[in-house]
Structures are given as C-alpha cells and as structure tokens.
Copies of this chain bind each other. A is one copy, B any other.
Amino acid sequence: MTSDLPLVPQVLATMELFLELPPVAQETVAATAHVRRLPKDTRIFNQGDADVRAHALIEGGVRISQLGSDGAQVVVRFIGPGEMFGTVALFTNGRYPADAVTLVDSLEVSWSRADLFALMVRYPQIAINIIRIIGNRLQEVQDRVRELSTQRAERRVAHALLRLARQAGHNTTDGTAIEFPLRRKDLADISGTTLHTASRILTAWEKAGLLASRNQRLTIRRPAEILRIAEDATD
C-alpha cells in the first residue's frame, strides 16, 4: 500500500524495530509501509477489532488503554515517536487487546500482517528486534505489577512519571517536559489509583515546586526529588 505523504526511510532506520538492518532491507520496509496523518483524538483501533496491522509512531503521542470485562479502565502505556504498537496481536489471537487514541496530531506508519511476516522471514533481525522490544515491555509491566502489589499510591505515581520522562521526556531549561498532554485521569489510570488521589498528589508536588503543569503538559523540575520519593524505602 502506498501513500501520498512523504515517507522518510531514514526515520524508519532509527526505529528500534528496524535496527541493524542492511540498507536494502530498509528500502523494502519503506516500500510496504503505509503512512497516515492523524488529527488529535483519532481512534487508531479499538479493543477487539480483527483487522490487525503492525503500527509505529513517527510523530506525536498515542494512549493505549484497556477496558476490563467489568467496566474498569487502565492505561496500558503511552506511545511516543519511534515506538511500535498494536503489533503483538498479529502473533496472538488476531484481535487488538486494547484501544489506541492519538493525544495530539500525529504521524503514524503501519504494515499489513502479510507484509510484516514476509519481512521477518526475509530478515530475521526484525523478529529479534520485536522480541527485544516486547521483552523490555514485559519487564516494565512486571515492574508495575510489583509496584501495585507492594507500594503506596504516591510512590507509584512517582515511578509512572519517571517512566514517562525516560520514554518521552524532552529536556528544557525548566526541567524535563513530557511531550504529550496528560490528564490527571491518565496519570491515575497508569499508576493504578483514582483521579482524586492522583490529583491530590500532583497538586502537592506542584506546591512544593517538584513539577509544573500547564494545560495538561507536565514538566518535572526536580527529578532528583521525584526519584527520592520513588525509591526511598522509608515505609
């Protein structure tokens, strides 16, 4: 599938998904890619959808969230530039396990199942890259499980912020700014607490000067302090 949008092969080359591929492989990858520009608040796919593709983000931000069989919602993760998403479903039961929504205007690229599998068989390094990416996510999610089981809400929020800063942080004179807008509810859903508790914690931190938030954009001003809260075993 082709697209009228400018496809930038050298951007693909920097994605973890296609690391260590020979240049000729990069071209094949680019040739089968389908690029789309997506306005803010676009639903890229819904939990349960069967027409599964492999996605990656070039610009912008995406929220991946999951709805339980009861009504409970959690945020699985946020996707920043260069990250793949929605790809695991190609290998498991063929249905997206979560919803994906753009948080800002974004640029997305995707491949069909057939194209990706053909690429993988031809260049096994792609499969190895996917295993590494999913493996790292598995460890991250397991860390979250450990946190949820053993830590208080405040420390979990601190950890969530640090993960976000590492993943999508952008250094400014003011501190580390997180690229995409985050509602208090999003923070709550990713750190396993309620909107109310998350709001109280963030407000307290703002008053203490640890972070600033303006218009759903967060800036961490004193990472060391947040880290102290996250790691300090005083409890």
Measured CB to CB, the residues of A under 8 A from B are 66, 68-72, 74, 76, 88-89, 91-92, 97, 117, 120-121, 124, 127-128, 130-132, 134-139, 141-142, 144-151, 189, 192-193, 231, 233
Chain A residues touching B, majority SS: helix
16 of the cross-chain contacts (CB-CB < 8 Å) are A68-B147, A71-B233, A74-B146, A88-B131, A88-B138, A91-B135, A92-B136, A97-B139, A117-B128, A120-B124, A124-B127, A131-B134, A141-B141, A141-B145, A145-B145, A145-B148
Q: Given A131-B134, A132-B91, A138-B138, do A150 and B74 touch, yes or no (CB 8 Å)?
A: yes
Complex CA gap A83/B137 in Å reads: 20
B128 and A91 contact, CB distance less than 8 A: yes
A192 and B69 contact, CB distance less than 8 A: no
Q: Which residues of B contact A117 (CB under 8 A)?
A: 128
A135 and B88 contact, CB distance less than 8 A: yes
B72 and A142 contact, CB distance less than 8 A: no
Q: Given A69-B231, A134-B131, A149-B192, do A142 and B91 touch, yes or no (CB 8 Å)?
A: no
Q: Given A72-B150, A231-B69, do A192 and B145 touch, yes or no (CB 8 Å)?
A: yes
A74 and B145 contact, CB distance less than 8 A: yes
Q: What distance in Å separates the Cβ of A71 from its nearest Cβ neighbour in chain B? A: 8
Complex CA gap A136/B151 in Å reads: 26
Q: Which residues of B contact A124 (CB under 8 A)?
A: 120-121, 124, 127
Among residues of B, the one whose C-beta sits closest to the C-beta of A134 is B134
Q: Which residues of B contact A76 (CB under 8 A)?
A: 142, 145
Q: Which residues of B contact A72 (CB under 8 A)?
A: 146, 149-151
Q: What distance in Å separates the Cβ of A184 from its nearest Cβ neighbour in chain B? A: 15
A128 and B128 contact, CB distance less than 8 A: no
Q: Which of B70, B134, B138, B231 meets A150, CB within 8 Å?
A: B70
